[in-house]
Amino acid sequence: MLFLMKTLRFTTLPGDGIGPEVMEVAVKVLQKLGNLYNFSIESSSHDVGGIGIDNHGEALPESTLAACKKVDAILFGSVGGPKWENLPPKEQPERAALLPIRKAFELFANLRPGNLYPELCDLSPLRSDTVANGIDTLCVRELTGGIYFGQPKETTTLDNGEKQAVDTMVYRTEEIERITQLAVNAAALRDGRICSVDKANVLETSVLWRETVINCVQKLNPNIELTHMYVDNAAMQLVRDPNQFDVLLTENMFGDILSDELAVICGSLGMLASASLGTQKNSFDLPFGLYEPAGGTAPDIAGKGLANPCAQVLSAALMLRYSFGLEEAAQSIENAVKETIRAGLRTGDIAMGKKATGTSEMGQAIIDRLQ
């Protein structure tokens, strides 16, 4: 029998701060997993963010973009840091790298799982009786539309010399339909509930959003339990009882805000992964995607071998799941991380005063638990 080994082609964009050290762990995990699940990896590393500015004069260098166009997925680290903080907002590494890369690959669907293991429930700022059993929700955020990209987007000077700035929040039906479809698929694999978040009491875009989501869910899968919530109420409900939500579906800016709220409720940014899926199919006929940890570059601990690699490793698991169709391998990573935490290993961000483990030791503990 001919046994074909799958080759996973992706770029790694480690970026700044702790990015490179946690990326190193994620690649090691993938290499080890390849032996167990019979795949090989072909990855190349490129500059993005602050290091892109330093080495190429741009946060998203042409050469990096070109390399990403040749592969099936991007494993992203994190970008930014004090060195580039005084640049004008448009040139800051976060914005100047992430927004164009999202646009370039039309990464319209941002999946941010909000997971808190029961073992880590004391990390959550929420009352322990609220989160004693952990948290398991998924935020599905529209990522290439709305007020982030709508035109006009400009600052002008009025006749009286006063300045005026405008951002435009705009959505087309099709943009809402494709993100809803994704949320429906995700919910069907979970508890089958979607709460769509909008501001339909005030915003036209939200009226269209709600109407389109209702029609779409009805058509795609009427078994999904669909509810709606205004964004201000959703922000409140999230801290009151995060587990009332299975899948939260929302537009770009609301999702930006709510996903950070969800992240802090889940205790440590060092544990949270995310996937941004595009409209294009890769060579496996699966979505091209960008996978990145939710946390930042943590410049205070960068280069010290103290960073938590879990979010980067879990992002690699999402890459295996969505862009390479390797569900079992993805679960193997997720279980290994869970077992590592269960065994009591903790990096500083999740140690709660107990003895902290370093980045590579944590990585090795995960690798040892891959099955």
Q: Which does 98 bind (CB under 5 to 8 A by kind): ligand IPM, Mg ion, none?
A: ligand IPM
Least Å distance, CB 106 to Mg ion, is: 19
What's the farthest any 2 CA atoms get from each other in the chain? Answer: 79
* Residue from 119, 256, 261, 339 in contact with ligand IPM (CB under 6 A): 256
Place of tokens 């929700």: 137
Catalytic-residue membership of 219: no
Catalytic-residue membership of 198: no
- Of 136, 147, 199, the C-alpha closest to 175 is 147
Catalytic-residue membership of 191: no
CB 20 within 8 A of CB 5: no
Q: Which is nearer to ligand IPM, 59 or 310 (CB)?
A: 59
Q: Which does 95 bind (CB under 5 to 8 A by kind): Mg ion, ligand IPM, none?
A: ligand IPM
Q: How far is CA 142 from CA 177, 236, 315, in A?
A: 10, 21, 18
Catalytic residue among 232, 241, 300, 368: 232
How far apart CA 180 and CA 177 sit, in angstroms, is 5
Least Å distance, CB 274 to Mg ion, is: 10
CB 296 within 8 A of CB 49: no
Sequence letter at residue 203: L
Sequence letter at residue 347: T
Q: Which is nearer to Mg ion, 256 or 339 (CB)?
A: 256
Catalytic-residue membership of 260: yes
**DSSP state, residue 344:** T
**DSSP state, residue 82:** G
Catalytic residue among 16, 72, 199, 349: 199
Residues that bind Mg ion (CB under 5 A): 256
The answer to whether the peptide bond before residue 100 is cis (omega within 30 degrees of 0) is no
Q: Which does 193 bind (CB under 5 to 8 A by kind): ligand IPM, Mg ion, none?
A: none
Catalytic-residue membership of 129: no
Footprint of ligand IPM on 88-117 (CB under 6 A): 94-95, 98-99
Catalytic residue among 136, 167, 191, 260: 260
Q: Which is nearer to ligand IPM, 28 or 95 (CB)?
A: 95
Helix (H, G, I), strand (E, B) or coil at 316: helix
Q: Which does 94 bind (CB under 5 to 8 A by kind): ligand IPM, Mg ion, none?
A: ligand IPM
- Which bin fits 126, alpha (ψ -120 to 50), beta or left (φ > 0)? beta
Query: Could you list the residues that contact ligand IPM (CB under 6 A)?
Result: 94-95, 98-99, 256
Residues known to be catalytic: 148, 199, 232, 256, 260
